Structure 1
Amino acid sequence: MTFTGYGDEWRLSRRIFHQTFRADSALKFHPMQIRRAREMIVSLIDDPQHYHAHFATFSSSVTMSAVYDYETSARDDPLVLLVIHAIDLAIGMLTPERAMMLKMFPFLLNLPDWCPGSSIKCDARVSTNLFNELVNVPFDYVKQHMAGDSISSRSSMVGEHLQRIEEQGEALRPVLEPALKKAATTAFAAAYDSTTSALMVFILAMVLYPDVQRYAQAEIDLVIGRDQLPTF
């Protein structure tokens, strides 16, 4: 959706996104979010050195469960690693310096691969291939599980709308499926970066301000006690 021009497809993608993640609809994801949060806590206790990887896995797994009903493994999940690799590569490419270079020297996009200075084009090709995988691999995962009559896959964002296509006729597919793919990719790509960053900043704040951490812990203990974990 980010790079889609405003128009019918953009509005359709936005509507799909809103139908899934509006406040009243997102309530059904609370049990899954709690389960994923507790998995993250266990991973942090077992392996605190790789806290960033645990945060990335958590943020990706929550959205992938909601969007694709994909159950990620606690560590080194192949699809999570694909997300991290694709987004990190894209962030490295989408810089003002590279944009200015291409604006000033557009011929760089036409250089042969063996020529010095063609790395931008090569990186763009790799990034495009990764994002195509990012769009299609989890989407095809839902299709395969729906073909196997998986009930849970039909409760995900992608599953619900694919079922709508099945019920209302294949005429919707050429219009709805591309918009659905873009909405789905936007959801988990955005969640990976924003949620992971928020968790990293939170940890930094707690380390820098231990008095605030103690105060917050005291408030939590006052509300729920010390023998249970917070829930919604």
Structure 2
Amino acid sequence: MLPLTNSTWLDLCLAGVAVYLVKQVFIKKNPVSYPPGPPGWPLVGNVTDMPRIKPWLTFTEWGKKYGDISHVEVLGQHIIVLNSVKTGMEMLDKKSNMYSDRPVLPMCGELVGWNLSLGLLPYGDRFRWYRKNIHRIIGSRAAMDVYNPIEEIETHRFLKCVLTKPDQLQAHVRHTAGAIILRISHGYEVKENNDPFINLADHAMNQLSRSSAPGAFMVDIMPFLARVPEWFPGAGFKRLAREWYETREQMVTAPYKFVKDQIAAGIAPMSFTSNLLEGRTLSAEEDNMAMWSSASLYAGGADTTVSAIYSFFLAMTLFPDAQKKAQAEIDVVVGPDRLPSFADRESLPYTEALAKEVLRWNTVVPTAIPHRVTEDDIHDGYYIPKGSLVIPNISFMLNNPRTYTNPSQFNPERFLAKDGQELELDPRTICFGFGRRHRLTTQSSDSLAFDCIGLHLADASVWISTAMSLAVFDISKAIENGVEITPELDPSSGSISHPKPFKCSIKPRSAKAIALIQQDANY
């Protein structure tokens, strides 16, 4: 077989454009117009308009200019951007039967190999198998209660680490999030320092975030590029994908093998994975589904809570008044002789509101993974063609002044009843996405049911970290050479966004606080 030359590849690209043009000639006439959006170019459409870094900022500008629904087209691929909670709920929740599919993401899904993870799966038997098993373990607050001791003990260990080395806050947050999810997903107790599974998750989740960010790689816009060889000019993404594939493969298989080895030795502790495997004979397909559902749980809890808890420390550094109010509440309800626990949660409404505000103030998932439309639709007078990608701009939704008063301010009171004023929208309804995969519904005034399977875990982790940290630490701006350092809010690009690393001062509130931190924290 003759090797493909650069001119051959150019011919193939031109052939692809020709096929696209032929399709345009014979395409049916739209029943109504597309939503408004930036004007495109002939042939390539809006290929130059698609942002590759922090896409939510560009999407916000489109919202201001074109309204709640905007539209672009890139080489025949229609992309719909949503900039309001109302539109997101009307389309992705109420019409979830046609808006909850996932697109094929060539970079993240096919090349890096995350296509079998829960977040990228289309609806089908495999998706339902994952969901059923994961929902049984962490799908409700009641189901999560059995893991409360793990959350409390690992967060207590986190306090010890912060007390000893406060300048390594980000590493402590990541270590603790990994410790919690690995205990739940695989029954694995992490090493105190330099744990291999924590490091693996750190690399893999960073790569997952980068590979799934909207517009980050042209191969997601022009899928035929997935077939070009690594040596082809501009195909550097293929080398990245090969490296990231290896990391992803290790993250999925290594913890799963650990559980199988533990079961064979008769020493496996209770975990999501051991529950799927022990006492059962699985087919090859079931074994693969068990491995991937475990990996999906592991991946889902390994990075989102890291972003949220690090955001909490940034918020407390910048907004000391909110910190003092929460500490005053904790001092009255819990007192100085013990650490807060989940049993105190209902008695700490301001602390609860503060944890909600953390999720709103600095968005963990700014745009979410795109949805794919499975049928033609007309919404609000606009034509949404089958196959369109729908991207909710969650970052703007959580900072929209029409929804949240003074959104740049960190204000937990917006979620507390006061003088008959209506509460502002609970950010947990949208902060991790929309649709049948992600919906939060209200069962009663006191019971929230999250349809996003990982949201109860994230919600619990953020709350217990908030309550315990505020009980024993004062968090403030760092001072260097007599100058107070004010950190900036500068979230990273990627599908999971993290605050820019910052400096702060973390000091124990009292001698009693030190004693509480230094108590044993063992299983």
Going by fraction, where is strand more abundant, 1 or 2?
2
- Partner SS, residue 336 of structure 2: coil
Q: Answer with 1 or 2: which has the greater Rg.
A: 2
Aligned mates of 1:125, 1:8 — CA distance in 2? 29
Q: CA deviation at 1:218?
A: 1.0
Residue 205 in 1 paired to residue 323 in 2?
A: no
Could you tell me whether the CA contact under 8 Å between 1:16 and 1:180 is conserved in 2?
no
Could you tell me whether the CA contact under 8 Å between 2:259 and 2:268 is conserved in 1?
no
Alignment of 1:178-217 (within 5 A): 178-217=288-327
Residue 45 in 1 paired to residue 163 in 2?
A: yes
2:228 pairs, out of 74, 86, 110, with 110
Q: CA deviation at 1:109?
A: 4.0
1:95 pairs, out of 209, 213, 222, with 213
Deviations 1:158-203 (A, max 9, x none): 00110142xxxx3x33343222222211112111221111101111
Could you tell me whether the CA contact under 8 Å between 1:108 and 1:117 is conserved in 2?
no
Q: CA deviation at 1:25?
A: 2.8
Residue 54 in 1 paired to residue 164 in 2?
A: no
Residue 33 in 1 paired to residue 151 in 2?
A: yes
Bigger relative contact order (CA 8 A; separation at least 6): 1
Could you tell me whether the CA contact under 8 Å between 1:109 and 1:118 is conserved in 2?
no
- Partner SS, residue 25 of structure 1: helix
Residue of structure 1 in register with 2:335 after alignment: 225
The answer to which of 74-83 and 86-95 deviates more is 86-95
Deviations 1:108-163 (A, max 9, x none): 6412x3444222001111111111111110000001011111152xx101001101
Residue of structure 1 in register with 2:239 after alignment: 122
- Partner SS, residue 302 of structure 2: helix
Aligned mates of 2:180, 2:264 — CA distance in 1? 23
- Partner SS, residue 192 of structure 2: coil
Residue of structure 2 in register with 1:157 after alignment: 272
Aligned residues: 224
Aligned mates of 2:220, 2:308 — CA distance in 1? 32
TM-score normalised according to structure 2 size:
0.41
Q: CA deviation at 1:48?
A: 1.4
Percent identity over paired residues: 26
Residue 66 in 1 paired to residue 181 in 2?
A: no
Aligned mates of 2:337, 2:255 — CA distance in 1? 38
User: For structure 2, which runs of at least 5 residues remain unmatched after alignment?
Assistant: 1-117, 343-523
Aligned mates of 1:58, 1:195 — CA distance in 2? 10
Amino acid at match of 1:86: A
Going by fraction, where is helix more abundant, 1 or 2?
1
Could you tell me whether the CA contact under 8 Å between 1:43 and 1:74 is conserved in 2?
no
User: For structure 1, which runs of at least 5 residues remain unmatched after alignment?
Assistant: none
